[in-house]
Amino acid sequence: MTAVILALVVGVIIVGYGLHVAKNPWRRCLRCGGGGMLDARFITQGRRVCGCCAKSQRGGHHPRIAVWVTQPSKAKQMAGR
């Protein structure tokens, strides 16, 4: 009985995460936090463009890992590759 309940809970979590990824396929950049800029403290004491975000079509945001796993062609298109 507890195994059935556990399976139902895990199933609900997986379906919920799938719906969340379908609604929100983008995540913030882990390097710059979604701002598209990084602090360049040692050289210019200013800010510079995040190299990771400069490659993507939507600076500061990238496709989630679940999008890369389930729809690789869509993820490549979203990332601008």
Rounded distance between C-alpha atoms, residue 3 and residue 7, angstroms: 6
Q: Classify strands 26-28 and 37-40 as parallel, antiparallel or unpaired.
A: unpaired
Rounded distance between C-alpha atoms, residue 63 and residue 81, angstroms: 12
pLDDT averaged per 10 residues, the chain (length 81): 94 92 82 71 66 69 78 75 61
Rounded distance between C-alpha atoms, residue 9 and residue 20, angstroms: 16
Position 21 scores a pLDDT of 85
Position 15 scores a pLDDT of 93
Position 13 scores a pLDDT of 96
List the one residue out of 61, 63, 69, 62 whose CA is nearest residue 14: 69
Which pTM was predicted? Answer: 0.58
